[in-house]
Amino acid sequence: MEKEVSGCLRPLDLRRDFEGLSKLIETAFAEDFQRVGVQFQEELKAIRRLVPWVLLLGRFSRFFRELIGGYVWEDQGQIVGSVMVQPQGLERRKWYIGAVATHPEYRRKGIARRLMEAAIEHIRKRGGELALLFVRADNVPAYQLYLGLGFVHFDSTTQLRLDGVPDVEFKQAKGLYTSADGTG
């Protein structure tokens, strides 16, 4: 049985949608904002400064025209879901999917699935052969969605943190380095 969902899917219009997209990302990833804090907000500001240049260059170049593409789910004038797609390299065989976000009040209604299906179709129509995305290991609903769409786990990264960085005494390991005289 289809879940009740209001709104509609439409292509991302970066000029018109940037502010709404920024608000959605801040809301949808509020927990991540607490973790990465100011860094992510600074990245959004940097992107905001680049948008006019990307749009201008897009008038003359297909590469820039497709550099920041994607789809949004809009309900009553508010962006409540998003997905972005970007080609990786000039050949356009490999694509990156990112900013997959759904407003917390709209989750579990199939919006992310519809956005992802649109992104995959977008990539397929442009000759893409490989789509990559990143997902946090503890984001089980998203991970399950991506597996259900045919993605496979192929790489893992773990971030480690060291608070209150202590003084460390450097000790050279034996056999790893050789001095100029060979005694090393």
Q: What is the mean pLDDT of residues 84-102?
A: 89
Look-up of token digits 């990302």: 25
Q: What is the mean pLDDT of residues 73-95?
A: 91
CA 174 to chain centre: 43
CA gyration radius for the chain?
Answer: 21
pLDDT value of position 143: 93
Q: What is the mean pLDDT of residues 74-93?
A: 90
Percent of the chain scored above 90 by pLDDT? 41
Quick one: pLDDT band at residue 1, thresholds 50, 70, 90? very low
Q: Which tokens sit at 112? A: 């992310």
pLDDT higher than threshold 80 for residue 58: no
pLDDT higher than threshold 70 for residue 57: yes
pLDDT value of position 9: 97
Percent of the chain scored above 70 by pLDDT? 79
Give per-residue pLDDT as tens, 115-138. Answer: 999 999 999 999 999 999 988 888
Instruction: Give the type of residue at 131.
Output: A
Look-up of token digits 């004038």: 77
- Whole-model pTM? 0.76
Other CB atoms closer than 10 Å to residue 96's CB: what's the count?
Answer: 15
Nearest-angstrom CA–CA distance, 164 and 86 = 38
Nearest-angstrom CA–CA distance, 135 and 114 = 18
DSSP state letters, 13-36: -HHHHHHHHHHHHHHHTHHHHHHH
pLDDT value of position 91: 76
Nearest-angstrom CA–CA distance, 49 and 52 = 7
Domains of the chain are: 8-148 (3.40.630.30)
pLDDT higher than threshold 80 for residue 172: no
